[in-house]
Amino acid sequence: KQEVTQIPAALSVPEGENLVLNCSFTDSAIYNLQWFRQDPGKGLTSLLLIQSSQREQTSGRLNASLDKSSGRSTLYIAASQPGDSATYLCAVGSINTGTASKLTFGTGTRLQVTL
Amino acid sequence: EAQVTQNPRYLITVTGKKLTVTCSQNMNHEYMSWYRQDPGLGLRQIYYSMNVEVTDKGDVPEGYKVSRKEKRNFPLILESPSPNQTSLYFCASSSRTDAAGELFFGEGSRLTVL
C-alpha cells in the first residue's frame, strides 16, 4: 500500500529565503505526483503536476523535482514571500492500485513566511 | 469562472439523519472524486467517478454512497451518519478520465455529526 510522508510537518522561514519541501513515497510505481497548496478554510489548489516520465516541472518561483527510484519529490520555493504561507501537500497516483484515479496524499507541510 | 461548487459549506446534524452533500462542476470534466480530510490523516479518497454512471470505491468508502447521473454533478450521500464521519469533505474534478491531470477542488464542506 502506498504511503506518502511529508517532513517537516511545519516550517517557519524569514521572507526572501529559498526553501525546500520534501515528499517521500514507498512505492515507486507511480503514474504521477502532484503538489498542492491549501490555505486555511479553503480547498486545494494544484501547483505542479509531474508525470512519471518527467524529472521536474517549473512554474514561476516554484520548481518540483521527482526521483522515482528513491521515492522522493521536492518542491523548491525561491525568494519566499508572506503570501506563500499555506499548507503544501503532495499526492501520488500509484500504478499498483490499478488506476491513476486513486491518489494517496501526504499530511502536508505547514509553511509560514515571516516579515 | 471555472469552479467546483459544494453545498452545504457547513452542516451540523445528528446521528442517523440522512444527508447529501452536493458537488457540481462547470468544466465538463469526466473525472470527479470525494475526499475527507482529518487532522493527522491527510486527505483520504472516499469514492471517485471516471464518467457518468461509472463510480468506484476509494480508500474509505464505508458509510458513504455516491451517484453520477449527470456529468456535472457528483453528490455524496450519508445514509445514516455517525460521529466518526465528522470531517472536512472535498470534492474534486479533472479533465482526464483518471486523476492524472490537474485536479480542481471545491472549497470544502465541514460536517459535524452529534
Test A107 with B100 for CB contact under 8 angstroms.
Answer: no
The residue of B105, B107, B109 whose CB has the most chain A CBs within 10 angstroms, and thus the best one to mutate to test that interface, is B105
Contacts A59 to B, Cβ<8 Å: none
Asked whether the predicted pLDDT for residue A101 surpasses 70, the reply is: no
Least confident range from A70-84, A101-115, B23-37: namely: A101-115
Which residues neighbour A7 within 8 Å (Cβ) at sequence distance 6 or greater?
A22, A24, A109
pLDDT score of A60: 96
CB proximity under 8 Å: A 70-89 to B: 89
Per-residue pLDDT tens for A47-99? Answer: 999 988 999 999 999 999 999 999 999 999 999 999 999 999 999 988 766 55
Least confident range from A8-12, B14-18, B40-44: namely: B40-44
Instruction: Specify the DSSP class assigned to residue B25.
Output: E
The residue of B45, B57, B66, B95 whose CB has the most chain A CBs within 10 angstroms, and thus the best one to mutate to test that interface, is B45
Count CB atoms within 10 A of the CB of residue B4: 23
Torsion of CA A85, A87, A92, A93, to 10 degrees: -100
* DSSP helix/strand/coil, B84: helix
CA B62 to chain centre: 13
Mean pLDDT of B57-67: 94
Contact A103, A31 (CB under 8 A): no
Count of CA atoms in the C-beta half-sphere (13 A) of B39: 1
DSSP lists the bridge partners of residue A114 as: A14
pLDDT score of A95: 76
Asked whether the predicted pLDDT for residue B2 surpasses 90, the reply is: no
Cell of B60: 474509505
Asked whether the predicted pLDDT for residue B98 surpasses 70, the reply is: no
B47 CA: distance to closest CA in chain A (Å):
9
Which residues neighbour A38 within 8 Å (Cβ) at sequence distance 6 or greater?
A44, A45, A86, A87, A88, A89, A108
Least confident range from A4-8, A28-32, A35-39, A109-113: namely: A28-32
Per-residue pLDDT tens for A12-44? Answer: 999 999 999 999 999 998 888 999 999 988 889
Mean pLDDT of B34-56: 91
3-state SS, one letter per residue, for chain A: CCCEEEECCEEEEECCCCEEEEEEECCCCEEEEEEEEECCCCCEEEEEEEECCCCEEEECCEEEEEECCCCEEEEEECCCCHHHCEEEEEEEEEHHHCCCCCEEECCCEEEEEEC
Confidence band, pLDDT 50/70/90 cuts, at residue A102 = confident
Cell of A100: 491513476
Measure Cα distances from B75 to B26, B34, B71 in Å. 15, 9, 11
Specify the higher pLDDT residue, B27 or B96. Answer: B27
Mean pLDDT of B31-53: 91
pLDDT score of B100: 66
Specify the higher pLDDT residue, B1 or A23. Answer: A23
Task: Give the range with max mean pLDDT: A48-52, B42-46, B51-55, B84-88.
Answer: B84-88
- Angle (CA) A110-A113-B4 rounded to 5° is 55
Mean pLDDT of B52-57: 91
